[in-house]
Amino acid sequence: MTSNSVSSKIVIPGDVLFPSNENRRPGKGTYELHGSIYSSLAGFVFVKEEKQRDRTIEVVEVRRNEIGHDHVVPYIGGVVTARVSSIGQRFAKCTLVCVENTPLPGGAEFGAMLRREDIRATDKDKIDLARCVSPGDVILARVISFGDNQTSFLLSTAEDELGVVSAISESGERMMPVDWENMQGIKSGLKEARKVARVPKMNQLIG
């Protein structure tokens, strides 16, 4: 890497970035251990050069934003918008659409999983996944952990403000929230159960 360069590779906490030496040191989002520089964040690797007297030092950083791109990397604790792609008995598979208020471009594919026990804060053993989310739904969720690789995450909708914000019925009709446990077809008026997010202006659908 050259001065002020950035890698397009996404790293996660614990990834080894570079060997450390007297001319290379860790910066923001990294740490040094046993002769190597590690990432302490999920994000993109930056290397910048700093001149110190008679030599140039490389400073390695990890940042959540990539210069020249208008998206951020999902991170633990962040709120994301996701679209449910399929459901099973134990979990729903999702694709992330936005991180906080920033849309992810089409080429940024981040998968996620919403497990049954992470849907609500109470009565976790009584949750029926199919009555909480359905394929085609758009949800607000919090990232609680990494999945099995650096582009997958585990989600939670256990907070009142998180859950379904836009839904598709079994017949393919667009639905809107009518209370905190049901969505209703815009034309048919038929209701289906969901774990609805308690957010302001719930009548404004997310496309």
Domains and CATH numbers, the chain: 5-63 (2.40.50.100), 79-193 (2.40.50.140)
CA–CA separation, 43 vs 41, rounded Å? Answer: 6
Three-state secondary-structure class, residue 163: strand
For Cα atoms 157, 158, 162, give the angle at the middle one, nearest 5 degrees.
Answer: 45
CA–CA separation, 138 vs 125, rounded Å? Answer: 24
The answer to whether 25 and 59 have CB atoms below 8 angstroms apart is yes
pTM of the model: 0.65
Q: What is the pLDDT along the chain (207 residues), one digit of tens a residue?
A: 444 565 556 776 677 899 988 889 998 888 888 888 988 766 788 898 888 778 888 999 888 665 444 446 788 898 998 999 999 989 999 999 888 877 776 556 789 999 999 999 888 888 999 999 999 999 999 999 988 776 789 999 999 999 998 888 888 888 888 898 999 998 899 999 999 998 754 434 334
